[in-house]
RNA sequence: UGGGGGAUCGUCUAGGGGUAAGACAUCAGACUUUGGAUCUGAGAACCCAGGUUCGAUUCCUGGUCCCCCAGCCA
């Protein structure tokens, strides 16, 4: 059973919203938002958030906004907002005409700050950053009040206006909420609302030199947009009292409800923006769209479909406990999707010559291959067959281990969509002893479609015709890290768990001829190998495939098993 | 050791005072011209200790362990 129907599975957030709607809160309205900061690229953790926010909105007949949370001009760029919009659309979500920016609210936010000052609920502090930190106290000791905390409202108003006017250098003053320096919740010890930053903002340019912090801007942005349920991750849980304080003290019309859920972690990878940046900037991967990365751009280039990612997100659920989802869960989602829609093809990664001794030298047959056994509508295609073929090196063993069903001396296998062949001889490299050519005979009565074709053999292997196949580059991927949770012990040291074999480039591959025209962005199943995505690096001369995911491999398990 | 959260199969996620469900993974079998897919089956869990109760994994009390917070990041 697949995704549809399961997507509306209940979780604690949907339960809360259902109850709110039932109780008539917000007039029964449901309005969410997806609020990325344009300082990095989206990853699959954001996909979880989007599926939740857009999904909830749709299920409750509400709306979901796309809002750029761009209150920190030092790290944010227009390039990121473009990239993020592209990724959101690619995943299949639509914000309609509700594209917003926190920076659009700067004037309103400023007026709210003035309101707070007038109410005596905010003040301009002139302590240095270090002093503020020292005054904040510790987890177990209360903080001390700033000597500037008692400034008059008039002085605060004047100073704040002059902060805006650019009269002070960075760091000279900040605007702080006046809450409680002794609060056991450190977020309530007079949090900073505004800081001075003489830098140009990618959208507002030089219009401002003071910028609101997240804690101030976020609840108010939610309120301005009429957001009813503000869904965020667990680390904001103890900001919620501050979120509510801001909305209460600003006396807004719409007081959104913040609900926190656990962020997504995936095994054998990292998800934090900081770590992803380290991987990209450090050159450990080839860029933000490196197929080994859990970024949306990386997954897309790896060959993941939006449908598979959404099905995955639906299935993993939403809860509050920290967890690490096994990569197998994601891989299952893409296999399930691609099994239905990816056309099949024949490709040999590590070729071994196979010569059919009793097949005429100059003969070429066009055999018929099914494009997708899961979907007859996808039709058939011709594939050329001739005397000299390539098969996979792994499909031949001179001395077959137990349970090895493939080709070995004296044994028969079926060549997919062709004939049954029998191995009659092996030619080996005189130096290495490795097989370099397998000599076979074929049974002409066993061609696919013929009555004798039904003869049972233990295995069917794939092949390409040596004279017709074309070379290709195939990129194989393994986990980026060798440790399930590379961030576990030491944040800085996660790089030591990098998998040196996360990328393997196979240049020896031979693919069936029609694949020479494969279009970048298209997906295929290479029979018996896995799903592959045509990389944008492909040229007219050479197609480049990324392995999306391997097929499940029962033989590999048997071979690995200690007691086979 | 201040505050805020969280503990259910290997991994996720439901449930709920009375047989603890599903998914992924694993194992076994069937089927198969992909050792794929599909189908069938199996094993596999309520953090601990008291208490209330006919009955607790659920309620109560007390512990234990894990995560987050001392940015003018979000």
Q: Is the CB of A417 under 7 A from strand B?
A: yes
- What stretch of H or E contains A165? helix A153-165
Residuewise pLDDT in 10s, chain A (564 residues): 223 333 345 899 999 999 999 999 999 999 999 999 999 999 999 999 999 999 999 999 999 999 999 999 999 999 999 999 999 999 999 999 999 999 999 999 999 999 999 999 999 999 999 999 999 999 999 999 999 999 999 999 999 999 999 999 999 999 999 999 999 999 999 999 999 999 999 999 999 999 999 999 999 999 999 999 999 999 999 999 999 999 999 999 999 999 999 999 999 999 999 999 999 999 999 999 999 999 999 999 999 999 999 999 999 999 999 999 999 999 999 999 999 999 999 999 999 999 999 999 999 999 999 999 999 999 999 999 999 999 999 999 999 999 999 999 999 999 999 999 999 999 999 999 999 999 999 999 999 989 888 899 999 999 999 999 999 999 999 999 999 999 887 666 899 999 999 999 999 999 999 999 999 999 999 999 999 999 999 999 999 999 999 999 999 999 987 654
* CA pair distance A311, A3, nearest whole angstrom: 5
> Which of A193, A233, A242, A267 is CA-nearest to residue A488?
A267
Q: Is the CB of A340 under 7 A from strand B?
A: no
Domains of chain A: 3-261 (3.40.50.620), 266-343+473-560 (1.10.1160.10), 347-462 (2.40.240.10)
> In whole angstroms, how far apart are CA A334 and each of A54, A503, A547, A555?
21, 20, 12, 21
Taking the C1' atom of every nucleotide in all shown strands and the CA of A404, the nearest one is B35
Q: Is the CB of A336 under 7 A from strand B?
A: yes
Taking the C1' atom of every nucleotide in all shown strands and the CA of A35, the nearest one is B74
DSSP secondary structure code for residue A494 in this structure: G
* CA pair distance A290, A273, nearest whole angstrom: 15
Question: φ and ψ at A328, to 5 degrees?
Answer: -60, -30
Beta strands in A293-434 (DSSP E): 344-345, 347-348, 351-356, 365-370, 380-385, 388-392, 412-415, 420-428
For residue A166, count other CB atoms closer than 10 A to its CB.
13
How many angstroms separate the CA of A5 from the C1' of B67? 33
Asked if the ipTM is above 0.90, the reply is yes
Taking the C1' atom of every nucleotide in all shown strands and the CA of A333, the nearest one is B24
* CA pair distance A408, A40, nearest whole angstrom: 53
How many angstroms separate the CA of A143 from the C1' of B2? 12
Q: Is the CB of A12 under 7 A from strand B?
A: yes
How many angstroms separate the CA of A232 from the C1' of B73? 16
> Which of A178, A211, A16 is CA-nearest to residue A105?
A211
Q: Is the CB of A46 under 7 A from strand B?
A: no
> Which of A467, A455, A454 is CA-nearest to residue A510?
A467
Q: Is the CB of A129 under 7 A from strand B?
A: yes
How many angstroms separate the CA of A262 from the C1' of B49? 30
Which tokens belong to A28? 């029964």
Taking the C1' atom of every nucleotide in all shown strands and the CA of A142, the nearest one is B2
For residue A129, count other CB atoms closer than 10 A to its CB.
11
How many angstroms separate the CA of A222 from the C1' of B32? 56
Nearest protein residue to nucleotide B4 (CA to C1' distance) is: A238
**Helices A106-118, A153-165: inter-axial angle, 10-degree rounding:** 160
How many angstroms separate the CA of A350 from the C1' of B37? 25
Q: Is the CB of A555 under 7 A from strand B?
A: yes
Cβ proximity of A48 and A313 under 8 Å: yes
* CA pair distance A95, A383, nearest whole angstrom: 46
User: What three-state secondary structure class fits A58?
Assistant: helix
| A368-387 residues near strand B (Cβ < 7 Å) | 372-374
* CA pair distance A178, A475, nearest whole angstrom: 57
User: Which residues, listed in sequence order, are joined to residue A108 by a DSSP beta bridge?
Assistant: none
User: Which residue stretches of A317-463 are H helix?
Assistant: 327-341
| A457-486 residues near strand B (Cβ < 7 Å) | 459-462
> In whole angstroms, how far apart are CA A9 and each of A262, A315, A324, A474?
17, 9, 20, 39
How many angstroms separate the CA of A245 from the C1' of B1? 29
> Which of A121, A241, A133, A243 is CA-nearest to residue A178?
A121
Q: Is the CB of A335 under 7 A from strand B?
A: yes
Question: φ and ψ at A419, to 5 degrees?
Answer: -115, 170
How many angstroms separate the CA of A49 from the C1' of B45? 28
* CA pair distance A444, A326, nearest whole angstrom: 47
Q: Which residue has the tokens 């933000």?
A: A288
> Which of A93, A114, A97, A179 is CA-nearest to residue A143?
A179
* CA pair distance A515, A345, nearest whole angstrom: 8
Positions of A marked catalytic: 37, 263, 273
User: What three-state secondary structure class fits A386?
Assistant: coil
Q: Is the CB of A339 under 7 A from strand B?
A: yes
Q: Is the CB of A411 under 7 A from strand B?
A: no
Q: Is the CB of A551 under 7 A from strand B?
A: yes
| A206-235 residues near strand B (Cβ < 7 Å) | 211, 213-215, 217-218, 234-235
Q: Which nucleotides of strand B lie under 7 Å from a protein CB?
A: 1-8, 10-15, 22-27, 33-38, 66-74
Question: φ and ψ at A443, to 5 degrees?
Answer: -105, 105
Q: Is the CB of A553 under 7 A from strand B?
A: yes
User: Which residues, listed in sequence order, are joined to residue A32 by a DSSP beta bridge?
Assistant: A64
How many angstroms separate the CA of A6 from the C1' of B29? 29
Looking at residue A6, what is its pLDDT? 35
Q: Which residue has the tokens 């919620």?
A: A240
Q: Is the CB of A238 under 7 A from strand B?
A: yes
User: What three-state secondary structure class fits A399?
Assistant: coil
Q: Is the CB of A182 under 7 A from strand B?
A: no
Q: Which residue has the tokens 């219009």?
A: A207
How many angstroms separate the CA of A242 from the C1' of B73? 17
Looking at residue A219, what is its pLDDT? 98
Looking at residue A564, what is its pLDDT? 42
User: What three-state secondary structure class fits A558?
Assistant: helix
How many angstroms separate the CA of A125 from the C1' of B40? 71
- What stretch of H or E contains A81? helix A78-91
* CA pair distance A56, A52, nearest whole angstrom: 6
DSSP secondary structure code for residue A407 in this structure: B
Q: Is the CB of A337 under 7 A from strand B?
A: no
Angle at A412 between CA A409 and CA A415, to 5 degrees: 120
Beta strands in A107-209 (DSSP E): 122-125, 174-177, 192-196
| A499-528 residues near strand B (Cβ < 7 Å) | 525, 527-528
Nearest protein residue to nucleotide B66 (CA to C1' distance) is: A322
Q: Is the CB of A138 under 7 A from strand B?
A: yes
């Amino acid at each position: 059973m697949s995704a549809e129907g399961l997507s509306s599975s209940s979780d604690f957030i949907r339960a809360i919203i259902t109850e709110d709607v039932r109780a008539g809160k917000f007039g029964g309205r449901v309005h969410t938002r997806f609020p990325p900061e344009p300082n990095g690229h989206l990853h699959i953790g954001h996909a979880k958030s989007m599926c939740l926010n857009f999904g909830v909105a749709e299920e409750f007949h509400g709306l979901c906004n796309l809002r750029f949370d761009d209150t920190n001009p030092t790290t944010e760029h227009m390039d990121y907002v473009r990239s993020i919009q592209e990724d959101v659309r690619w995943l299949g979500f639509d914000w309609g005409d509700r594209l917003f920016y926190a920076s659009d609210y700067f004037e309103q936010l400023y007026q709210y700050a003035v309101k707070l000052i007038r109410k005596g609920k905010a003040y301009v502090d002139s302590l240095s950053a270090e002093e503020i930190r020292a005054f904040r106290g510790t987890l177990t000791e209360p903080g001390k009040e700033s000597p500037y905390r008692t400034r008059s409202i008039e002085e605060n108003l004047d100073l704040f206006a002059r902060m805006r006017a650019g009269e002070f250098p960075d760091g000279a003053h900040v605007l702080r909420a006046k809450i409680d320096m002794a609060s056991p919740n450190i977020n309530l010890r007079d949090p900073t609302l505004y800081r001075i930053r003489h830098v140009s903002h990618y959208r507002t340019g030089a219009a401002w030199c003071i910028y609101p912090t997240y804690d101030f801007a976020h609840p108010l942005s939610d309120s301005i947009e009429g957001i009813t349920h503000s869904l965020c991750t667990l680390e904001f849980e103890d900001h919620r009292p501050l979120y509510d304080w801001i909305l209460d003290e600003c006396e807004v019309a719409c007081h959104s409800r913040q609900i926190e859920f656990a962020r997504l972690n995936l095994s054998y990878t990292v998800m934090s923006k900081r770590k992803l940046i380290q991987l990209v900037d450090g050159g450990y991967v080839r860029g933000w769209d490196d197929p080994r990365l859990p970024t949306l751009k990386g997954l897309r280039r790896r060959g993941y479909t939006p449908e598979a990612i959404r099905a995955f997100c639906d299935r993993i659920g939403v809860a509050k406990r920290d967890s690490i989802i096994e990569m197998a869960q994601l891989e299952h989602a893409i296999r399930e999707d691609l099994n239905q829609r990816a056309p099949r093809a024949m490709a040999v990664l590590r070729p071994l010559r196979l010569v059919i001794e009793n097949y005429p030298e100059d003969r070429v047959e066009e055999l018929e291959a099914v494009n997708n056994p899961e979907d007859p509508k996808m039709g058939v295609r011709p594939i050329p067959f001739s005397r000299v073929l390539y098969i996979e090196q792994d499909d031949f063993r001179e001395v077959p281990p137990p349970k090895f069903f493939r080709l070995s001396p004296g044994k028969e296998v079926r060549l997919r969509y062709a004939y049954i062949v029998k191995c009659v001889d092996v030619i080996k490299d005189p130096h290495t002893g490795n097989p370099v050519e397998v000599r076979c005979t074929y049974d002409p009565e066993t061609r696919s479609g013929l009555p004798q074709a039904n003869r049972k053999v233990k295995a069917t292997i794939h092949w390409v015709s040596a004279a017709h196949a074309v070379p290709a580059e195939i990129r194989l991927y393994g986990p980026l890290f060798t440790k399930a949770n590379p961030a576990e012990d030491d944040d800085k040291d996660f790089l030591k768990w990098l998998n040196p074999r996360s990328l393997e480039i196979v240049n020896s591959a031979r693919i069936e001829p029609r694949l020479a025209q494969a279009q970048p962005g298209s997906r295929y199943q290479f029979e018996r190998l896995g799903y592959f995505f045509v990389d944008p690096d492909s040229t007219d001369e050479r197609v480049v495939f990324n392995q999306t995911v391997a097929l499940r491999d029962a033989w590999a398990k048997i071979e690995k098993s200690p007691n086979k």
